[in-house]
A and B are shown apart, each in its own frame.
Chain A
Amino acid sequence: MKIILRDFKKSLLISLWFMFLTFPLVVVRVNTIENVVVWRWSNLIWVAAGSFFLSYLWRYMLARRNRRRKIAEEGVETRGRLQMLLENEQLRNRVLAILLALALVFPLVFDTYQTNIMVTALIFVVLGLGLNIGVGLAGLLDLGYVAFFGLGAYCYAILNHNFDLGFWFVLPIGGMIGCLFGVILGFPILRLRGDYLAIVTLGFGMLFRVIMENWETLSSGPSGIANIDRPGLFGLEMTLAQSTTYIYYIMVALVVLTIIVTNRLKNSRIGRAWIALREDEVACVAMGIDMGRTKLSAYALGAFWAGMVGVIFAAKTTFINPASFTFMESAIILSIVVLGGMGSILGVILGAFILILLPEYLRAFAEYRMLIFGAAMVLMMIFRPQGLISGLRQVYTYKGHKTHVGVKEQPINE
């Protein structure tokens, strides 16, 4: 009884505090041009009720988290049921095969509009997987990732307009350009601590937009570049619907390629170096890993994918302008990685679908999209830092006195 009363009092105080906190911004709305004030008192009730119940939930979740941590410290397995299922390799492969089959028949079943949305989602899947190399595997927080995406898109738009180069020719060039800029930008800053990297990349993202808006001769400024060629297929004439389907299949192929490459990389020598570097830099350097080179490779590789997808994006929309490459896009890509699970390929794919398709189909919710993404990033970090699906990591265990060394995969649980 006492505890219930105490909790009640606490929640009441919290709700009063939040009523005070949100009062000027949520209740009052002034229009300083027409000199009118609107008092929206009904909002205050929502804030009060919401914060009252959320504070209960918050306390419960924190207690649960701490309980789990204690259990984890004692070495008891804390994997969820989904995690266990995913570790079954046979099952996982079967699920992937089914997903691929579904992806292949998708444009045959649904119309062009749905296919178009799906292409956007797939673009973000690849962007998420690309960023995942930097953020998830190597622990390099990149807040200007969209700049590489934009570089690829502008690369195709400019080359296509000025030199009449085709999609397939520019696709690798876009990737290379992204990669090149990744190296140029990454070289001086990657020796530094992680937080500096975050802010420099943030600045780079901003810089890209400023330059594209002002360098009229190259990028035709804020009005952007229109009439970019769609990808060609041996000079065949295609209708809009056919072309969308074609781009869709290109995207599916690229997603599959990205998954294969990142998956192979993750368990390679350099991939293990990335993960080790993320966990402990000093120990890594002491073990003889070249820190600068390893970080640079992760960063540049991420930039490579972004550049390639940028080319596809430009070919898909046939129109680009600097407004498509703002910090908001970078934030969306980052929340895809964080929500899905840093370092986890399946997680990132799931994250991209949730974050791109949900606002697309729930229009009412679209307005609150960024608000929810921001809150989700904070909540994920506090309550589930490994994301929806945590990354699997190869662990080699010695099984008793048997002569062979068994391979078992375990989640990364810091």
Chain B
Amino acid sequence: MDYFLELFFSGLTRGSIYALIALGYTMVYGIIQLINFAHGEIYMIGAFVALIVSGVCTIYGLSGFAILILAAAIAAVYAAAYGFTLERVAYRPLRGSPRLSALISAIGMSIFLQNYVLLAQTPDFLPFPRLIPDLAFIEPVAHIIGTPELVILITTLITMVVLTFLIKKTRVGKAMRATQQDLSMARLVGINVDNVISLTFIIGSVMAAIGGVLVASYIGQVSFYIGFLAGIKAFTAAVLGGIGSIPGAVLGGLIIGWSESFAAGYISSDYEDVITFVLLVVILIFRPAGILGKVHKQKV
């Protein structure tokens, strides 16, 4: 039973991070119908910036949990800046072009950012300093759920509550929902669609960066390549839950997290990446709109 619970919580932790990244995919897709292939790279850049900030702080003699907060904040700012620039440079000039063009541009950007970090930093894995202290009260159940897991779960929960509030209750959120429903109509009623799209990229990137920092401090290492696999998995999560749907992305993330963790625990860890892919193909065959997605009939 303990083993089951351990796998359950490790799946929940992974899943909540996939969900954080998947939200960025789903929100962007909902508004401009584009798979932002470079989203995984934004996540990686977030993790890298956090590593650099915490590394510099540690070397200059600071330490502790406060560094993690600082690193996460700076990482979020930078991820937002990269997300914003990415949209301005690679996607905005292609609005109105065929979808294939935008998709290829997205892939190009993903390759570019990966190699930019590779060349500017290092091709190797860098160890990420352990910044999350062990909490005393969790000691009795530490073999099932550790402090890092707890911190990740609480952080993702807060992030998602804030996001839901932002989308459901604020003026900006209303503009985003309107743009998602009908872009040209939203423009007609006076919503600045360009700003809404930029904002969507910024919000998605901030969440990816939070995910990146959490993963980096959880797993303990960072490399230029981590965005690729995380990107595919998070995208699968978004498709699984129904692309364009925000609760769907969370649900999809959790399902992927659990299936991976149980597959690794009970079958073999060699093939844990395969599970995601098999899930993706199965869901695309039987329910292409995803679990919570709406089926759109194309009309001419």
| Same complex origin of A and B | yes
A378 touches B108 (CB 8 A): yes
B105 interfacial contact with A, CB 8 Å:
yes
B98 interfacial contact with A, CB 8 Å:
yes
Proximity bits, A26-37, B CB within 8 Å = 1, else 0: 101111110111
Residues of B near A32 (CB, < 8 A) are 51, 55, 58, 126-129
B187 interfacial contact with A, CB 8 Å:
no
- Whether A374 touches B281, Cβ cut-off 8 Å, given contacts A141-B103, A327-B228, is no
CB distance from A151 to the nearest CB of B (A): 16
B51 touches A374 (CB 8 A): no
B119 touches A338 (CB 8 A): no
B280 interfacial contact with A, CB 8 Å:
yes
Residues of B near A350 (CB, < 8 A) are none
Residues of A near B267 (CB, < 8 A) are none
Residues of B near A376 (CB, < 8 A) are 108
Proximity bits, B258-299, A CB within 8 Å = 1, else 0: 000000000000110110110011001100100000000010
CA A316 to CA B113, docked complex, whole Å: 33
A331 touches B111 (CB 8 A): yes
Residues of B near A43 (CB, < 8 A) are 120
Residues of A near B102 (CB, < 8 A) are 381
A235 interfacial contact with B, CB 8 Å:
no
A394 interfacial contact with B, CB 8 Å:
no
A371 touches B280 (CB 8 A): no
Residues of B near A206 (CB, < 8 A) are 229, 232, 273, 277
B284 touches A189 (CB 8 A): yes
CA A143 to CA B106, docked complex, whole Å: 12
A368 touches B119 (CB 8 A): yes
A141 touches B111 (CB 8 A): no
- Whether A199 touches B235, Cβ cut-off 8 Å, given contacts A25-B120, A32-B129, is yes
A139 touches B100 (CB 8 A): yes
- Total contacting residues, chain A, CB less than 8 A: 62
- Whether A377 touches B108, Cβ cut-off 8 Å, given contacts A30-B55, A207-B274, is yes
Tell me the dominant secondary structure on chain B's binding face. helix
A267 interfacial contact with B, CB 8 Å:
no
B59 touches A30 (CB 8 A): yes
Residues of B near A189 (CB, < 8 A) are 281, 284-285
Stretch of B13-21, B87-95, B151-159, B196-204 with 4 or more beta carbons under 8 angstroms from chain A: B87-95
A374 touches B99 (CB 8 A): no
Stretch of A78-86, A190-198, A292-300, A400-408 with 4 or more beta carbons under 8 angstroms from chain B: A190-198
CB contacts under 8 Å to A, within B121-165, are: 121-122, 126-129
CA A28 to CA B273, docked complex, whole Å: 33
Residues of B near A35 (CB, < 8 A) are 58-59
B78 interfacial contact with A, CB 8 Å:
yes
B99 touches A375 (CB 8 A): no
Residues of B near A20 (CB, < 8 A) are 81
Within 8 Å by CB of A371, from B45, B116, B232, lies B116
B52 touches A30 (CB 8 A): yes
Proximity bits, A326-345, B CB within 8 Å = 1, else 0: 01000100110010000000
Proximity bits, A139-157, B CB within 8 Å = 1, else 0: 1010100000000000000
CA A381 to CA B114, docked complex, whole Å: 19
A24 interfacial contact with B, CB 8 Å:
yes
A21 interfacial contact with B, CB 8 Å:
yes
- Whether A28 touches B56, Cβ cut-off 8 Å, given contacts A199-B35, A206-B232, is yes
A202 interfacial contact with B, CB 8 Å:
yes
CB contacts under 8 Å to B, within A200-257, are: 200, 202-204, 206-207, 210-211, 214
CB distance from B85 to the nearest CB of A (A): 6
Residues of B near A143 (CB, < 8 A) are 107
A195 touches B59 (CB 8 A): no
Proximity bits, B28-54, A CB within 8 Å = 1, else 0: 000000110000000001001101110
Proximity bits, A368-384, B CB within 8 Å = 1, else 0: 10110111111001100
A367 interfacial contact with B, CB 8 Å:
yes
A194 touches B103 (CB 8 A): yes
Within 8 Å by CB of A25, from B45, B108, B127, B300, lies B45
Central interface residue in A22, A135, A189, A382, by most chain B CB within 10 Å: A382
CA A327 to CA B225, docked complex, whole Å: 11
A74 interfacial contact with B, CB 8 Å:
no
A374 touches B108 (CB 8 A): yes
A366 interfacial contact with B, CB 8 Å:
no
B183 interfacial contact with A, CB 8 Å:
no
B100 touches A141 (CB 8 A): yes
CB distance from B72 to the nearest CB of A (A): 14
B239 touches A373 (CB 8 A): no
Residues of A near B34 (CB, < 8 A) are 195
A381 touches B105 (CB 8 A): yes
When C-beta atoms are compared, the residue in chain B nearest to A286 turns out to be B300
When C-beta atoms are compared, the residue in chain B nearest to A376 turns out to be B108
When C-beta atoms are compared, the residue in chain A nearest to B33 turns out to be A195
B280 touches A199 (CB 8 A): yes
When C-beta atoms are compared, the residue in chain B nearest to A367 turns out to be B119
A282 interfacial contact with B, CB 8 Å:
yes
A188 interfacial contact with B, CB 8 Å:
yes
B104 touches A338 (CB 8 A): yes
Residues of B near A278 (CB, < 8 A) are 100
A192 touches B53 (CB 8 A): no
B97 touches A21 (CB 8 A): no
When C-beta atoms are compared, the residue in chain A nearest to B221 turns out to be A32
20 more A-B residue pairs beyond the given contacts A199-B235, A378-B112, A381-B97, with a C-beta to C-beta distance below 8 A: A21-B81, A21-B85, A24-B78, A30-B51, A31-B55, A35-B59, A139-B100, A194-B103, A198-B103, A199-B232, A199-B280, A206-B273, A206-B277, A210-B270, A211-B274, A214-B270, A375-B108, A378-B105, A381-B102, A385-B101
Binding site for A on B (CB under 8 A): 34-35, 45, 48-49, 51-53, 55-56, 58-59, 74, 78, 81-82, 85, 89-90, 93-94, 97-105, 107-117, 119-122, 126-129, 228-229, 232, 235-236, 239, 270-271, 273-274, 276-277, 280-281, 284-285, 288, 298, 300
Binding site for B on A (CB under 8 A): 17, 20-22, 24-26, 28-33, 35-37, 43, 62, 135, 139, 141, 143, 188-189, 192, 194-196, 198-200, 202-204, 206-207, 210-211, 214, 278, 282-283, 286, 327, 331, 334-335, 338, 367-368, 370-371, 373-378, 381-382, 385, 414
Write 25 A-B pairs (CB below 8 A) sorted by A numbering: A17-B85, A21-B82, A24-B48, A25-B48, A25-B116, A25-B120, A32-B126, A33-B127, A36-B59, A37-B55, A188-B285, A194-B103, A195-B34, A195-B35, A196-B288, A199-B236, A202-B232, A278-B100, A338-B104, A371-B116, A374-B109, A374-B111, A374-B112, A378-B112, A381-B105
